[in-house]
Every structure is written in C-alpha cells, then in structure tokens.
Structure 1
C-alpha cells in the first residue's frame, strides 16, 4: 500500500522553489504597487519617501528608497536585475531574507551619509532598488571568494562577466540621473554582509586545518569521516535546501 503522504522529488522541488523565490518576489510586488501610487499622486509621492542625504526627513528613505522608482523603464530594469541577482542570492543561502534586509538597511544608511545629488541643480533625492541590487552583485562575488562553494563560484563568475563592467562604470560619478553613490553604498554593503555571513564558515575551515595538519596517519580514518560529515552539513546551507540522498538507494 502506497502512502500518499510520502514526499516525492517533484513535491520537494516545488516546495524548495516556493521557499527560495517567494522572498525574492514579495519586495518586487511591493515595488510595483508603490509605482502605481507614484503614477496616481505624482512625483511628490516619491519626494516624500525618498532618501535625502544628511537630512532628518531623508532618514525615512533608508526604508522606502528601494521601493520607489522614477519611471516605468527604471522599474523594469531593476525588476530584471532583482530577479536574476536576488534569485541567485536566494539560491546560495537559506538566510536570504536576513541578507536582503542587511543590504537594504546598510546600503541606505551608508548612502544617507555619502549621498550626493543625481546631477547639478537637483534636490538630491535618491530612489530605486539599485543600491540593493548592487549589494546582491557584490555579495555574490564576495561570497564566492570566501565560501569557496561550487555554485557560489559559478554565480560569482557569471556576475563578474555579465554585470561587472557596466556596474563598475555606474560607480563613477558624472552620468546624469544616476545615483552613483547609491551604487557604491550597495557594493560596500554587499561586501560587508558577505564577510559577516561567512564568518562562521571561515572560522570552522581554519579550525579544521590545524587538526588535519597535526593528525597522525594511524588515526586518519576517523577524522576523515568526520570531515566528510562536517563538509556535508556546511554545504547544505544552500537556499534550495533539498536532501537528495533520500531518493538515492
């Protein structure tokens, strides 16, 4: 008799996809809703909630800036980048929500300190999800270097080649309508969050190296099994988090 409650690989994959990508999609839905408000109420809606550097009223922008966009193409462009880079980040770590919030708040706080007007003569309001998107890109590349996991390295190489040059160009001041300081703030936040997230893994890797170097050949068997188990647990920290071993007999 077959137990219908038994999980299948298909149901596990479906659950993993929901668990991995719903946290990526929710902020996007809110961005589009906020854009509808912008279309209804005009630019004053954005100006009220935007980030204005080094002003008390602009502090609210740390929370709301990534949700605001100044035009449909601005929103579409950021939507595509958010899906790609946010999706990659969510596939790399089960702690996507924590990573996203860290990038969101840290990039906003840094931008509030270093932010400049978009171009001469502007008021200096910053809107858009670009800071968090640059944070995703910097996080992926830094995480790949520090975590040394296969999927992370594949994603890191892809981001470096597909986005690297254009993102570096947008870190340079001079382009009208581009908040280059927002991009810079996001990149800084991405590097910092990656260092924080990988701290335990880096410390554990350093601790493993010392016993391995001191271990004698006579007792090498048992430590090897422990390292294999430990590595398996370490590698299971990916965002999809599927235990494929139960389907392999």
Structure 2
C-alpha cells in the first residue's frame, strides 16, 4: 500500500514538472514567434491536403496566433495535461501521440486548403476526453471521480467541437477529443484489480487489524 502511494506521488511530481516544462517551451516559442511577426506560425503551421505539410502536425501545438490565443490555451493545457499524466508518464506520452495524430490528420484531411492552423487546443480537448473516460474504463474509483468532476465542470468546452467561429479550428478540437477517447480505450488497464487477488494470511492480518485498518481500506477503495 505504501509503495502504491509513493509511486502515485512520484508520478504526480513528474507530471507537474513535465507540464511546467511544456508550458515553458510553448511560451518561449511564442516569444520568438511574436518577435518574428508570427513568421513561425506561417512557416510551421499546418495546411491541409499537402503531403509536404503533414509533418507540421507535430509543430502546430507549439505555435499560437496571438498572446490571447496562448493565454486561453495555457491553463486548460496544464490542468488537463497534469491529470492525464499523473498516473504514469509512459502512458501519457503514448496518449499524447495518439491525440497529435488524430487532431492533426483531422485538420489535414478536412480543413480549408487556404487555412493555416496553429495552437494547442486540440491537445487540450484530447486530454479532456482522456481524463473523463479513463477512470470509467480502468474501473479506478479515484480516476472515475476526477473524470466525473471534470466532465461536470467543463462540459461547456464540448461546444468547441461544433462549427462556429471561422477563426477557431473546431476540426482540431474534434480530432483531439476523439484521440483522447481512443487513447483511453487503447491504453486502458487490462489487468485485474490487485485487491481482487488472494493475499497471504500474514498480510491480511496486518492490514485488517490495528489502528491503521480504516486508512488502508480507504486507500484501497481509491485504487491506491
């Protein structure tokens, strides 16, 4: 039990520093982009239906069209990214790749050819979808509660996957959201719950008696 809690804390610290690092890189790129009159966005933003532009799906999330644009994306990217990463960095990286691909390909296939798409909002929608669905698929009580709370508080963001403002890439939002849902399914926990496995008598006695029994029981119920 103590090892599970220690691992969760370690993974949470990694998730925190990872997302702080991601934000630092995005804001540094924005500063360079701004001083260049947003030339990086024009050069490395994603244009649809051109094979030579396809790799730009990997640079698109680092670029933004204005300071207001990056400010709007930064907080939800950090929050949803942290919640997506705190259960383990390896799974988080794979999920991020799926979101990048689905969001980028959706834009590349269906966006207007004259449009240049930039921004991390597709990743935001992807992490949102992943966090909401992950707890239900993994049958983890803590993650399920987190997902339900996030879905209830931020349900309004789903309006962003509908056609609306021509200056906002709803296709990127939709593709990112689908990537998060697919990632939650692909990388769901397929192993049986550890608490369901038989336990040695000595271990059982140690955790079901004594003053810490209630604490151990609560932590087990939370999936820790």
1:98 aligns with 2:88: no
Match of 2:108 in 1: 112
CA distance in 2: counterparts of 1:13 and 1:171, whole angstroms: 33
In the TM superposition, what whole-angstrom CA distance separates every residue of 1:106-142 from its partner, at most 9, and x where no partner exists? 322232223347xxxxx31110000011000011111
Give the length in aligned residue pairs: 197
Q: 1:50 aligns with which of 45, 60, 65?
A: 45
SS at match of 2:167: coil
Cα distance change on mapping 1:199 and 1:152 into 2, 3 Å = closer
CA distance in 1: counterparts of 2:93 and 2:148, whole angstroms: 23
CA distance in 2: counterparts of 1:128 and 1:116, whole angstroms: 16
CA distance in 2: counterparts of 1:143 and 1:54, whole angstroms: 33
Q: Which segment drifts farther, 51-60 or 69-78?
A: 51-60
Cα distance change on mapping 1:58 and 1:100 into 2, 3 Å = same
TM-score for both structures, normalised by structure 2: 0.77
Q: Is contact 2:62-2:119 (8 Å) kept?
A: yes
CA distance in 2: counterparts of 1:40 and 1:177, whole angstroms: 22
1:225 aligns with 2:196: no
- CA shift for structure 1 position 77: 1.5
Q: Is contact 2:11-2:87 (8 Å) kept?
A: no
Cα distance change on mapping 1:14 and 1:185 into 2, 3 Å = closer
Q: 2:178 aligns with which of 184, 188, 191?
A: 188
Match of 2:14 in 1: 19
What is the RMSD of the two structures over their aligned residues, measured on CA atoms?
Answer: 2.9
CA distance in 2: counterparts of 1:109 and 1:183, whole angstroms: 12
User: Which of the pair has more CA radius of gyration?
Assistant: 1
Q: Deviating runs (4+, > 4 A) in structure 1?
A: 11-17
- CA shift for structure 1 position 15: 5.1
Q: Is contact 2:40-2:63 (8 Å) kept?
A: no
SS at match of 2:162: coil
1:138 aligns with 2:133: no
Match of 1:153 in 2: 144
In structure 2, list runs of 5 or more residues that go unmatched. Answer: 1-5, 205-218
TM-score for both structures, normalised by structure 1: 0.70
In structure 1, list runs of 5 or more residues that go unmatched. Answer: 1-10, 118-122, 213-222, 230-243
Q: Is contact 1:50-1:60 (8 Å) kept?
A: no
1:164 aligns with 2:159: no
